[in-house]
Amino acid sequence: MANLRVFDKDSDSAKRVTLYRDTASWCPYCHKVWLLLEEKQIPYNVKRVNMACYGNKPPEFLALQPNGQIPVAVIDGEVLRSSDAIIERILRMNGASSEVDQSIDPFDDAQSTNLLRLERQLFSAWLGWLCRGGGRPDFERTLRKVEDTLSSRSSGPYFLGDRFSLVDIMCLRSKSGGRHPGGGLHHVALTHLWWSEYFGLPSVPAL
């Protein structure tokens, strides 16, 4: 796993962005920040810290984030202490091209807002099933909503059709250990297709 990603730029370009993420590389909040950097091809430097269940965090990190939560990013000297704040900041940065930036950013339109709301419902239902038990029926109902949404597209495997966008990136927090949340279910073919397309993205092997 590379600690420095510069794409086609020089190594100094990565000094603008330092991302503190989990050593094990399975934190979904860290993962979506990482993928957004990869998709926009913004040079960055990674520093890995333990999650609470894996050991202590270094003093350097705790000086930035006293509560120890990850991810944290330092962008142009500004410390950002949540994945949402980091993502909002990255979206304002210039990526590899204006075409890439426009493809990733959903521009806060009504469709994207509704899709992001559905993602929050899916994550809540998945977390309820995972942590509290007995929540599978609610999770399956929500997953069927996702399936219906994917079936309403005019083309393409992603939530906004042919283009992989922030909506898709945000949905990644509903995955666990590299398996998508519908992995054991057989009535969500379009959800399975979405994950197949995701794992085929050029940026994913770098993660």
Question: Does domain 106-206 correspond to CATH entry 1.20.1050?
Answer: yes
- Residue 56: is its pLDDT beyond 90? no
Comparing 59 with 54, the larger pLDDT belongs to 59
pLDDT reading at 164 higher than 50: yes
**Side-chain-facing half-sphere of 34: CA atoms under 13 Å:** 28
Q: Would you state the pLDDT for residue 48?
A: 94
Band of residue 24 on the pLDDT scale cut at 50, 70, 90: confident
Contact of 104 with 165, CB cutoff 8 Å: yes
Question: 3-state class of 121 per DSSP?
Answer: helix
Q: What is the mean pLDDT of residues 158-171?
A: 86
Q: What residues does each domain of the chain span?
A: 4-102, 106-206
> Average pLDDT for residues 18-39, to the nearest whole number?
90
The mean of the pLDDT values for the chain is: 83
* pTM: predicted TM-score of the whole model, two decimal places: 0.83
From its phi and psi, is residue 45 left (phi > 0), alpha (psi between -120 and 50) or beta?
Answer: beta
- Whole-angstrom distance, CA of residue 158 vs CA of residue 146: 11
Same fold, 4-102 and 106-206: no
Domain 4-102: what homologous superfamily?
A: Glutaredoxin (3.40.30.10)
pLDDT in tens, 78-97: 999 999 999 999 999 988 78
Helix (H) or strand (E) holding 74: strand 72-75
pLDDT in tens, 115-129: 888 888 988 888 888
Q: How far apart are CA 189 and CA 200, in angstroms?
A: 17
Shortest CA distance to 70 belongs to which of 29, 123, 37? 29
Q: What is the rounded CA–CA span in Å between residue 128 and residue 159? A: 24
Is residue 55 within 8 Å of residue 26, measured between CB atoms? no
Most confident range, picked from 17-31, 148-162, 185-199: 17-31
